[in-house]
Amino acid sequence: MPANIKVLLVDDNPMVLEMLRQALAQFSSVSTITDGADALLKAIDDPPDLVISDYTMETMDGKQLVQKLKSRNTTANIPVILMASKTDITEKLKILQDTVEDFIEKPFFLKEAAARIKKVVDKISLEKMAREAPGESVLRGSLAQMNVLDLLQSLDMGHKTCALTLINNGDKCHLFFRDGQINHAAYAGMKGDDAVYKVLSWTGGNFEINFNGSSNEQTTTRSTQGLLLEGLRLLDESNRDAEENVLEA
C-alpha cells in the first residue's frame, strides 16, 4: 500500500542520498535532488506526498526549505521530515517542532532511519486512501499490503478515532481507537490487552476502518505504543520457546 506515496528526498551528499533512496524505494516512490532551491521548484511543480530533507545544505538549507514550503498555499500541507544533528535539532530547529512531521537525528543507522520514515509513510498512505474515497466512511485494505503493526502505528500517529476490524481466516478482531489510543479490543472471547497481543502476528487477511465508529468501553491498560511493545516482547518470547522446543526434540 505505501508504494503509492511519492517521496522527495533532498541531500547534497550523493552517498547518503543514494543509500536512503535505495532503502525508501522498498515502500515508496522516491525522487532525489541535491539542492534545496531545486527541491522547492520540484515540490511546486509536482507536489510530493512527503519531503525528507537534510538541514545543512548550501544555497538553501532545510530550515529555509521548510519555511518556503509552508508559506505557499499549494505546498503548505506537504509533510516534511528534517535530518539534522542533535545539536541543530535542539538549538536551531526547535522553532519547527510543530511544523515538521519528524526529525531524524544524524548520524543515523540506515535501518533505523528507514523504519522511522516508514511509520510516517504508512500514516500518510492511510490518510491519502481516505481522501481518495470521498463519501466513504469505511476504508478497506489487505494485511499483505500493510501489516497489523504498521496499521496500528499509523492510526496512533494520525490520532484517529475509529473502529478497526481485522479479518483472518474467518476470525475477527475488533479494535476501537480514541485519538490514536486503543481503548477497547475484543477477539474470540478475549478483551483488552490480550486481544491486541493475539493479532499482532497476523500477516494475512484484511482490515476495515470505520472512521465513524467508536466505543466508550475501556478494556485496555496501556497506550497503543505500550501495547505494541509488550505484544512484540511476548511474541519474541513465544518464538524463542518454540525454537528451544525444536532443539530439545
Cβ atoms of residues 50 and 8 within 8 Å: yes
Which cell is 150 given?
A: 504498521
* 243 pLDDT more than 90: no
* 220 and 193 within one domain: yes
Which cell is 178 given?
A: 480514541
Tell me which DSSP letter residue 224 carries. H
- The pLDDT of residue 247 is 46
Cβ atoms of residues 39 and 65 within 8 Å: yes
Question: Residues 6 or more apart from 93 whose CB is under 8 A from it?
Answer: 55, 63, 82, 84, 100, 103
**What is the mean predicted confidence (pLDDT) over 13-27?**
93
CA pair distance 177, 163, nearest whole angstrom: 6
* 180 and 226 within one domain: yes
What domain range includes position 103? 2-129
* 222 and 163 within one domain: yes
* 109 and 164 within one domain: no
Number of domains in the chain: 2
- The pLDDT of residue 140 is 86
* 146 and 104 within one domain: no
pLDDT tens digits, 188-229:
999 999 999 999 988 889 999 998 999 999 999 999 999 999
Cβ atoms of residues 81 and 100 within 8 Å: yes
Q: Which long-range contacts (CB under 8 A, 24 or more apart) does 168-177 make?
A: 168/143, 168/199, 168/202, 168/204, 168/205, 168/206, 169/204, 169/205, 173/198, 173/199, 176/213, 176/214, 176/215, 176/217, 177/224
Last residue of a domain, one of 84, 101, 129: 129
197 phi/psi in degrees, rounded to 5: -60, -35
| pLDDT category of residue 97 using cuts at 50, 70 and 90 | confident
* 89 and 58 within one domain: yes
CA pair distance 45, 228, nearest whole angstrom: 39
- The pLDDT of residue 3 is 58
* 67 pLDDT more than 60: yes
**How far is C-alpha 142 from the chain's CA centre?**
16
The CATH number linked to 73 is: 3.40.50.2300
In the chain the first and final C-alpha atoms are separated, in Å, by 41
Q: Chain-wide mean pLDDT for the chain?
A: 89
* 149 and 98 within one domain: no
Cβ atoms of residues 143 and 166 within 8 Å: yes
Tell me which DSSP letter residue 8 carries. E
The closest of 2, 110, 98 to 49, measured between CA atoms, is 2
CA pair distance 214, 224, nearest whole angstrom: 16
* 176 and 108 within one domain: no
* 102 and 149 within one domain: no
* 120 and 162 within one domain: no
Last residue of a domain, one of 103, 129, 155: 129
* 62 and 26 within one domain: yes
* 7 and 107 within one domain: yes
166 phi/psi in degrees, rounded to 5: -105, 135
Last residue of a domain, one of 77, 106, 129: 129
